[in-house]
């Protein structure tokens, strides 16, 4: 057991749940063996507490660092801000410059508010959209954070979020009087959304533009037309998808414009900044309610975002990470075919994932993480690409993964019992996000 696992044992006694983010819990990867904590990062390398360098062919900070860890240009801008001062009684000018840039990137929009996390951005967007529409009820599709408004869907007559996030999420602590205020619908099921809108006074439609697969039968345009016809505020949650296939929201790819869009994760390359971008007619409703927080005024977030957008635009990072994601998906499929293994690959290229079509899928996922860790990789069955994922990293990754697939093939053919190969418990199930 390494220093990281020793520290995680202490963390579980001091921190409810052990970590601040469900997706970073060691049990999601390799229970009792995952390094858990890092000492430093650079490019696509992570060093654990014992000084071991690990190549991150996994989720790159949950998709936050598309320019790689420790991008020199972004970090230089941040360090200059640290020298000059991060907080003041006065406001930082960078928030105005960043708002200008985001409106330029989103010509359908006029105004911007900033926060520091995706959950905050989603809650701000909902508050503004409800205020603008004058109606409380929301139709949702996808994952939009942990706040009361979202989790209240599980106060409805059934476990409404099972197909959108995780089954069995408890809404304890969420007021029961929020029951029947949020109604999930499934991606590409326009009839389901239409039924929800016809039966309820829906004021907001809030959705991820795309997750594991794209729109069919003009789905997004139908949603846009319905929202316009019914006077409903349409909100696109681009906290995850933004800046991965276009310079801005992935909605640009489908030529459908929302009333509000949120950006996060990629926009600050690891520094905390989220943005709520919208039409003036909707965004001005923020003035009729109360949305305010001290640390939304700190300077590092906007500074990092401005520098990140500058680098992204110059190198066309969204094209680079999409190409690398396609390369990963293609090579996963090729390797599986070589070993007569059946896998299903999904996700947009820059946020690729796959699963084994086998009753032992979770055991194989755990085995991959276990064995790839021994070979110097942070790896699972997901890959979030960044510009620092060079061809030599791919080559060494697939050389190592080939060895693991050989073993999995023997397990599938009944020659080896996968349980006997695991050195700890099977990993926990993660987010489904089946939109």
Beta strands in 98-171 (DSSP E): 111-115, 137-141
Q: Which long-range contacts (CB under 8 A, 24 or more apart) does 119-122 make?
A: 119/145, 119/146, 119/147, 120/145, 120/274, 120/293, 121/239, 121/262, 121/263, 121/264, 121/274, 121/275, 121/276, 122/147, 122/150, 122/206, 122/237, 122/239, 122/262
Kindly tell me if the per-residue pLDDT of 434 is higher than 50.
no
For the cut 70, the answer to whether the pLDDT of residue 162 exceeds it is no
What is the distance between the terminal CA atoms of the chain, rounded to a whole angstrom?
A: 38
CA distances from residue 330 to 338, 342, 398 in whole angstroms, order as listed: 12, 14, 12
Contacts of 284 (CB under 8 A, 6+ apart): 111
Tokens of 245: 């296939």
In the sheet that holds 233-238, the strands lie side by side as 111-115, 274-278, 260-263, 233-238, 202-208, 137-141, 182-184
Q: Are strands 260-263 and 53-56 parallel, antiparallel or unpaired?
A: unpaired
pLDDT at 1: 73
Confidence of residue 172 (pLDDT cuts 50, 70, 90): confident
Distance CA 119, CA 127 (A): 12
Least confident of 68-82, 173-187, 273-287: 173-187
pLDDT bracket for residue 431 (50, 70, 90): low
Whether 118 contacts 331, CB under 8 Å? no
Question: Rounded to whole angstroms, how far apart are CA atoms 147 and 178?
Answer: 12
Residue 429: which pLDDT band, with cuts at 50, 70 and 90?
A: confident
Chain segment 63-111, per-residue pLDDT in tens? 999 999 999 999 999 999 999 999 999 999 999 999 999 999 999 999 9
d(CA 206, CA 49): 41
Residues paired with residue 274 on neighbouring β-strands, in sequence order: 115
State yes or no: pLDDT of 206 exceeds 80.
yes
Determine contact, residues 145/127, Cβ cutoff 8 Å: no
Residue 211 pLDDT class (50, 70, 90 cuts):
confident
In this predicted structure, the answer to whether residue 136 has a pLDDT above a threshold of 90 is yes
Contacts of 3 (CB under 8 A, 6+ apart): 37, 48, 49, 50
pLDDT at 221 over 70: yes
pTM of the complete model: 0.95
How far apart, in Å, are the Cα atoms of 350 and each of 236, 271, 305, 319, 368?
19, 20, 20, 9, 21
CA distance linking residue 214 with residue 415, whole number of Å: 39
Residues 223-250, mean pLDDT to the nearest whole number = 98
Task: Give the closest residue to 70 by CA, choosing from 284, 333, 307.
Answer: 307
- Res 186: pLDDT: 93
User: pLDDT value at position 169?
Assistant: 75
**pLDDT > 70 in the chain, percent:** 96
Q: Above 90 in pLDDT, residue 435?
A: no
pLDDT of residue 433: 45
In this prediction, residue 160 has a pLDDT band, given cuts at 50, 70 and 90, of low
pLDDT at 325: 98
pLDDT for the residue numbered 14: 97
Please choose, from the candidates 301, 322, 378, the residue with its C-alpha nearest in 3D space to the C-alpha of residue 66.
Answer: 322
> In what order do the strands lie in the sheet containing 382-384?
343-346, 351-356, 382-384
Which three-class secondary structure state does DSSP give residue 4? helix
Average pLDDT, the chain: 95
pLDDT value, residue 202: 98
pLDDT over 70 (residue 155): yes
Number of C-beta neighbours around residue 420 at 10 A? 7
For residues 295-319, give the mean pLDDT: 98
Question: Which residues does 188 contact at the CB level (< 8 Å), separation at least 6?
Answer: 213, 215, 216, 217, 219
Please tell me the least confidently modeled range out of 171-180, 197-206, 227-236, 423-432: 423-432
pLDDT at 159 over 70: no
151 pLDDT above the threshold of 70 = yes
């Amino acid at each position: 057991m390494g220093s990281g696992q020793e520290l995680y044992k202490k963390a579980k006694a001091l921190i409810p749940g052990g970590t601040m983010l469900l997706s970073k819990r060691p049990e999601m990867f390799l229970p009792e063996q995952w390094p858990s904590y890092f000492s430093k990062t650079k490019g696509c390398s992570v060093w654990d507490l014992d000084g071991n360098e690990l190549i991150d062919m996994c989720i790159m900070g949950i998709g936050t660092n598309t320019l790689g860890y420790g991008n020199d240009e972004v970090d230089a801008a941040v360090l200059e801000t640290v020298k000059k001062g991060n907080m003041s009684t006065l406001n930082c000018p960078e928030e105005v410059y960043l708002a200008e840039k985001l409106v330029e990137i989103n010509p359908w929009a006029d105004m911007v508010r900033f926060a520091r996390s995706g959950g905050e951005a989603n809650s701000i967007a909902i508050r503004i959209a409800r205020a603008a529409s004058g109606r409380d009820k929301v139709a949702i599709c996808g994952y939009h954070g942990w706040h009361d408004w979202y989790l209240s869907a599980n106060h409805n007559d059934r476990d409404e979020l099972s197909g959108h996030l995780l089954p069995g999420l408890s809404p304890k602590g969420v007021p029961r009087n929020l029951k029947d205020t949020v109604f999930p619908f499934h991606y590409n099921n326009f009839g389901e959304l239409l039924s929800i809108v016809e039966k309820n006074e829906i004021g907001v439609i809030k959705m991820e533009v795309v997750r594991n697969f794209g729109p069919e039968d003009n789905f997004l345009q139908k949603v846009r037309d319905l929202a316009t016809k019914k006077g409903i505020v349409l909100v696109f949650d681009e906290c995850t998808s933004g800046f991965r296939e276009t310079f801005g929201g992935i909605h640009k790819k489908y030529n459908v414009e929302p009333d509000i869009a949120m950006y996060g994760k990629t926009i600050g390359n690891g520094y905390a900044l989220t943005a709520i971008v919208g039409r003036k007619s909707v965004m001005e409703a923020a003035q009729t309610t109360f949305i305010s927080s001290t640390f939304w005024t700190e300077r590092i977030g906007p500074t990092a975002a401005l520098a990140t957008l500058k680098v992204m635009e110059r190198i066309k990072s969204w094209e680079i990470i999409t190409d690398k994601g396609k390369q990963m998906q293609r090579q996963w499929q090729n390797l599986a075919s070589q070993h007569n293994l059946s896998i299903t690959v999904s996700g947009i290229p820059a946020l690729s994932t796959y699963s084994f079509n086998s009753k032992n899928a979770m055991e194989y996922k755990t085995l991959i993480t276990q064995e790839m860790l021994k070979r110097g990789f942070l790896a699972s069955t997901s890959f979030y690409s960044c510009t620092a994922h060079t061809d030599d990293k791919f080559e060494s990754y697939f050389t190592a993964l080939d060895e693991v697939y050989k073993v999995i093939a023997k397990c599938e053919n009944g020659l080896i019992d996968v349980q006997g190969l695991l050195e700890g418990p099977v990993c926990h199930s993660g987010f489904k996000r089946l939109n």
